[in-house]
A and B are shown apart, each in its own frame.
Chain A
Amino acid sequence: MSEVQRKKYSDKEKNSIFDHEFMPHIDSMYNFAYRLTFDEDDAKDLVQDTYLKAYRFINSFEKGTNAKAWLFRILKNSFINEYRKKSKQPSKVDYQEVETYYNSDNVDYTMTSDLRVDAVKDMLGDEISNALNSLAVDFRTVIILCDLEGFTYEEMAKILDIPIGTVRSRLHRARNLLKDKLRSYAENMGYDTEEE
Chain B
Amino acid sequence: MDKNRNKSSESGKRKLNCSDESKCFELLESILDGEETSSSKEILDEKLAKCQPCFEHYHLEKVIREILKNKCTKQMVPAELADSIRQKIQEIK
**Which residue, of A48, A109, A113, A144, has the highest number of chain B Cβ atoms within 10 A?**
A109
Among the stretches A67-75, A90-98, A174-182, the one at the interface with B is A174-182
Question: Within A142-166, which residues are at the interface with B (CB < 8 Å)?
Answer: 143-144, 146-148, 150, 152-153
Query: In the complex, which of the residues A11, A112, A147 contacts B68, with contact meaning CB atoms closer than 8 Å?
Result: A147
Decide if the interface of chain B is mainly helix, strand, loop or mixed: helix
A83 on interface, CB distance cutoff 8 Å = no
Cβ contact within 8 Å between B92 and A52: yes
A27 at the binding interface (Cβ < 8 Å): yes
With contacts A112-B21, A120-B60 taken as known, whether A128 is within 8 angstroms of B85 at the C-beta atoms is no
**Nearest CB of B to A132, in Å:** 6
CB-CB nearest in chain A for B30: A168
Interchain CA distance A150-B32 in the complex, whole Å: 11
Does A3 count as interface, using CB distance less than 8 angstroms? no
**CA–CA, A113 and B28, complex, Å:** 15
Q: Which residues of the other chain, B, contact A196 by a CB distance below 8 angstroms?
A: 4
Q: Which chain A residues lie closer than 8 Å to B34 at the CB level?
A: 150, 152
Known: A109-B25, A132-B68. A30 touches B33 (CB 8 A): no
Q: List A residues 25-69 near B (Cβ within 8 Å).
A: 26-28, 30-31, 34-35, 40, 44, 47-48, 51-52, 55-56
- CA–CA, A150 and B35, complex, Å: 11
Q: Is the Cβ of B33 less than 8 Å from the Cβ of A40?
A: no
Also in contact, A182 and B22, with CB within 8 A (given A11-B93, A31-B73, A147-B69): no
Q: How far is the CA of A30 from the CA of B33 in the complex (A)?
A: 23
Chain B, range 50-70, C-beta contacts under 8 Å to A: 53, 56-57, 59-61, 63-65, 67-69
- Complex-state Cα separation, A51 to B64, whole angstroms: 32
Which B residues lie within 8 Å of A172 (CB)? 26, 29
B65 nearest CB neighbor, chain A only: A147
Say whether A123 contacts B92, CB under 8 Å: no
Within 8 Å by CB of B57, from A11, A40, A112, lies: A112
Smallest CB-CB separation from B68: which chain A residue? A147
B67 and A120: CB pair below 8 A? Answer: yes
Q: Verify if A18 is at the interface (C-beta below 8 Å from B).
A: yes
B53 near A112 (CB under 8 angstroms)?
A: yes
In the assembled complex, the CB of B68 is this many whole angstroms from the nearest CB of chain A, namely: 4
Contact A110 B25 (CB under 8 A): yes
Our pick among B64, B71, B89, B92 for the contact of A175 (Cβ within 8 Å) is B64
Rank and list the top 3 A-B pairs by shortest CB-CB distance, nearest first: A109-B25, A109-B22, A31-B75
Binding site for A on B (CB under 8 A): 3-4, 21-26, 29-30, 33-35, 53, 56-57, 59-61, 63-65, 67-69, 71-73, 75, 77-78, 81-82, 84-85, 88-89, 92-93
